[in-house]
Amino acid sequence: MSETADPDLSPAPGAERFGHLIERRDDADFPFYDGEPTTLSVPQWILAWVSVAVGIAVLMFTPQPNNLVALIPRTLFVVIPLVTLALITRPYWTALFRRVTRRDVLTMFGFAVLTLAVSSSLALIVRAFSDTAANEATDDVGSLGVIDVIAFYVGTGIQLVGEEIFTMIPLLAVLYIFFAKVKVSRRTAIVVAWIVSSLWFGAAHLPTYDWNVAQAFIVIGGARVVLTLAYIRTKNLWVSTGAHVINDWTLFTPSIIQNAAFVAI
């Protein structure tokens, strides 16, 4: 189903790259937007985008009585869009992922810290003029058995891979449309894709935070901007995923420990 490279598209010259604070000084680039390693048509991008929507619908609407059962929809959240992308691009779906280096691991931790700082600051601002809703994901985890707690961590790890795919496929779709079809510069296309995919991610969190628009779009969307920068900088979905996992587990764990301690008392 994949197409051959479009001869009108060519890799962006060095002048079209952002400075080293945004993009590393290497030859890594985003896949699919400029004909490398293959070109996707607009209908194919729409299909890929629909697949992430189907994946999150499965995650949201499948009953999850416990964390072991929740492993099924969380896994499908990852599998559905990746299988769709593989059907569209054949062997090139792996272009989302690169080998993780020691430098990448340090980058994960750096972006996790930056995300925590940015989201905490934005949360304080939002609380100054609006009520905020709690994320109920960890409310009862500390009171459950060891197996269920392990399943929670494994399941959230899988889900966070899915959340990165849920963000990056739309980002790459918008990047392609604006670069290849609208014919704006690479940097402009990246900024537009960055904003659109962050809003998309924030909108998906509206049900999680009791439809609090400010919390979903400012706090969660703001955190997403930082996490997406990890991908823009490295072109490696493993790096943004690692930063996302470190960030979320850092937020979850104190609550789980506190709940477990309360039950023990």
Model pLDDT, residue 3 = 45
Model pLDDT, residue 132 = 84
pLDDT at 1 over 50: no
Closest CA to 112 of 258, 214, 251: 251
Say how far apart CA 74 and CA 55 lie, in whole Å.
Answer: 9
Model pLDDT, residue 177 = 97
Q: Tell the burial category of 102 from Cβ atoms under 10 Å away from its Cβ (0-12, 13-18, 19+).
A: exposed
Q: What is the pLDDT of residues 234-259, one digit of tens each?
A: 999 999 999 999 999 998 888 777 76
Q: What is the pLDDT of residues 62-112, one digit of tens each?
A: 999 999 999 999 999 999 999 999 999 999 999 999 999 999 999 999 999
Model pLDDT, residue 135 = 74
What's the average model confidence in pLDDT over 12-32?
Answer: 85
Model pLDDT, residue 134 = 78
Model pLDDT, residue 102 = 97
Q: What is the pLDDT of residues 192-221, one digit of tens each?
A: 999 999 999 999 999 999 999 999 999 999
Model pLDDT, residue 136 = 72
pLDDT at 144 over 80: no
Model pLDDT, residue 5 = 45
Q: Measured over all CA atoms, what is the biggest interatomic distance in the chain, rounded to whole angstroms?
A: 68
Q: What is the pLDDT of residues 150-209, one digit of tens each?
A: 999 999 999 999 999 999 999 999 999 999 999 999 999 999 999 999 999 999 999 999
**Token pair of 264 as six digits:** 């023990």
Model pLDDT, residue 261 = 56
Model pLDDT, residue 242 = 98
Between 229 and 129, residue with greater pLDDT: 229
pLDDT at 25 over 70: yes
Radius of gyration (C-alpha) of the chain in whole angstroms:
19
CB 163 within 8 A of CB 244: yes
List, in sequence order, every residue forming a beta bridge with 3; answer none if it has no partner.
39
